[in-house]
Amino acid sequence: MKKILALVLALAMVLSLGAIAFADGDLITVGVINNDPNESGYRTANDAAMRAMFCEENGYDATFYNNNDAAQQIATAQQMIQDEVDYLLLSPASTTGWDTVLQDAQAAGTQVILFDRMLEADESMYVAAVVSDMPAEGETAVTWLADQGLDEYNIIHIQGHMGSDAQVGRTGALDAKVEAEDNWNYVTQQTADWNEETARTIVQSVIDSGDSFNVIYAENNGMARGAVAALDANGITHGKDGDVIVIGFDSDVWAMQAVLDGEWNYMGLCNPMQADKVDQIIKDLEAGTQPAEKVIYSDEPGFDCETITEEDVATYGTGVQEEAPAEEAPADDAAAEEAAE
């Protein structure tokens, strides 16, 4: 039933896309397929940035489609190719199943640019990919953690949605390290499905059981916040000079603020701002230059509570900053309004 409904909605959407495609001749037409912006703060920022970039003022006639279901994404992608968009910008919900879409795109002369997420296909099938390197993010974080030089690492590992790109990448590095080192142990390893509330219950459960731990490795910021709520409720100190090291991922400004305030120890950046780079690639292609590299990784440092600066927060934080009134962040505001529509 849900599927049928989704199908009908998708169909309606596709039909409206068809209408838009006739709108303007001078603009570069792009079809943007992304995940559900409500999934996380990271995704909200990512979607907002894409919408802000690909608008008429910047010379684009863009149509957007958001869905976490790969099958729906594929159907919409095919429709966009039939509508002869110039560029198909794709953040695939799953890594497989895209072969036909990519072949159709090539046949129709539609250029495919991947952003944020990779898919399994030969490099020749797309022009470029602007993505986050999830395993590298995990690697950076684990290396940082190892540098802290604790005698023993008793880790609560809160995983994201099992099987997702981010979960696999961020889990991989830590799993390898725990396997390799004797003094690295999991107190528990559970999925909270990116859910803050579930993360809180998992940590509360460990506390209730009386097991000791000194690291919380949460695979996104929301879950890290849930974990911290459980710590706070039990009076366990955390962050700079605290008993428990807290690690989160993504780019939310409030999380970076927490690192700056010393409440958290580390946040692995997952940069949602691929819009600029994608824009640059398209501009280059229009001018006749192929991108130098096929896969372009975003710049994704980790932030440590000892070294993070206000500037970092301002540069990399997404979502509106706490003190910043709306006027000072015009890009974000516009993005929010666009998204609201």
Partner 1 sequence: MSAETKTPVKKERRSAGEVLKRMTRHQLFIPVAALVLLVLFNLIADPSFFAVSLKQNSLGNPVLSGNIISVLDNASELVLLAIGMTLVTASSGGQDISVGAAMAIAGSVIIRLVCGGQVSVDTMQTSLILAVLAGILVSMIFGAFNGVLVAYFKIQPMVATLILFTAGRSIAAWINNNQLPIVNDQVFKYAGTFIPGIPVPTPVFITIFVIVLFWLALRFTNLGLYTQSVGINANASRLNGLDPKMIKLLTYVILGACVAVAGFIRVSRSGSINYSRIAENIEMDAILAVALGGNALGGGKFNIYGSILGAYVIQFLTTTLYKYNVPSTALPAYKAVVIILLVVLSAPVVREKMSHIGKSSKRAKEVA
Q: Does 207 bind partner 1 (CB under 8 A)?
A: yes
Question: Please, which residue, 21 or 223, has the CB nearer to partner 1?
Answer: 223
Q: How many residues lie near partner 1 (CB under 8 A)?
A: 52
Rg (CA), the chain: 21
Q: Which residues contact 92 (CB under 8 A, 6 or more apart)?
A: 33, 70, 73, 98, 114, 117, 118, 119
- The answer to the question of residue 277 lying near partner 1 (CB under 8 A) is no
Only one of the segments 119-127, 235-243, 287-295, 302-310 lies at the binding site for partner 1 (rule: CB under 8 A); that segment is: 235-243
Q: With respect to partner 1, which residue has the nearer C-beta, 27 or 236? A: 236
Supply the minimum distance, in Å, between the C-beta of residue 46 and partner 1.
Answer: 12
Listing DSSP states for 239-255 in one string gives STTSSBEEEEES-BHHH
> Would you say 3 or 294 has its CB closer to partner 1?
3
- Smallest separation (angstroms) from partner 1 to the CB of 201: 6
Q: Candidates 82, 95, 106, 204: give the one binding partner 1 (CB under 8 A).
A: 204
- DSSP states along 256-315: HHHHHTTSSSEEE------HHHHHHHHHHHHTTPPPS-SEEE----EEETTT--HHHHHH
For residue 88, give the DSSP letter: E
Q: What's the rounded Cα separation, in Å, for the pair 13 and 26?
A: 23
The kind and range of the H/E element at 134 are: helix 134-147
Site track for partner 1 across 41-70, x = CB under 8 A: x--x---x----------------------
Burial 306-325 (b: 16+ CB within 10 A, else e): eebeeebbeebbbbbbeeee
Which of 183, 322, 328, 330 touches partner 1 by CB under 8 A? 322
Cβ distance to partner 1 smaller for residue 167 or 271: 167
The DSSP letter of residue 110 is: P
Q: Rounded to the nearest whole angstrom, what is the least distance from the CB of residue 157 to partner 1 in the complex?
A: 9
Q: Are 300 and 132 in contact (CB under 8 A)?
A: yes
Residues 158-177, one symbol each (x = binds partner 1 by CB under 8 A, - = not), give -x--x---------------
- 336 forms part of the interface with partner 1 (CB under 8 A): yes
What's the token pair of residue 126?
Answer: 């797309």
When asked if residue 254 is in the footprint of partner 1 (CB under 8 A), the reply is yes
Distance CA 173, CA 136 (A): 8
Q: Which of 31, 34, 39, 313 binds partner 1 (CB under 8 A)?
A: 39
Residue 231 near partner 1 by CB under 8 A: yes
Residue 128 in contact with residue 284, Cβ under 8 Å?
no
Among 101, 178, 202, 246, binds partner 1 (CB under 8 A): 202
210 touches partner 1 by CB under 8 A: yes
Tell me which of 234, 280, 307, 315 binds partner 1, using CB under 8 A. 234
Is 125 one of the binding residues for partner 1 (CB under 8 A)? no
Q: Per-residue contact track with partner 1, 72 to 101, x per CB under 8 A?
A: ------------------------------
Neighbours of 176 (CB within 10 A): 13
How do beta strands 266-268 and 302-304 pair? antiparallel
CA 83 from chain centre, in angstroms, equals: 28
Pick the piece of the chain touching partner 1 (CB under 8 A) from 176-184, 208-216, 266-274, 299-307: 208-216
Distance between CA 215 and CA 141 in Å, rounded?
12
Place of tokens 């993010």: 137
Q: Is 314 near partner 1 (CB under 8 A)? A: no
User: How far apart, in whole angstroms, are the C-alpha atoms of residue 202 and residue 69?
Assistant: 27
Rule CB under 8 A: which residues touch partner 1?
Answer: 1-2, 5-6, 36-41, 44, 48, 159, 162, 188-191, 193-197, 200-202, 204-210, 222, 225-226, 229, 231-237, 254, 319-320, 322, 336-337, 339-340
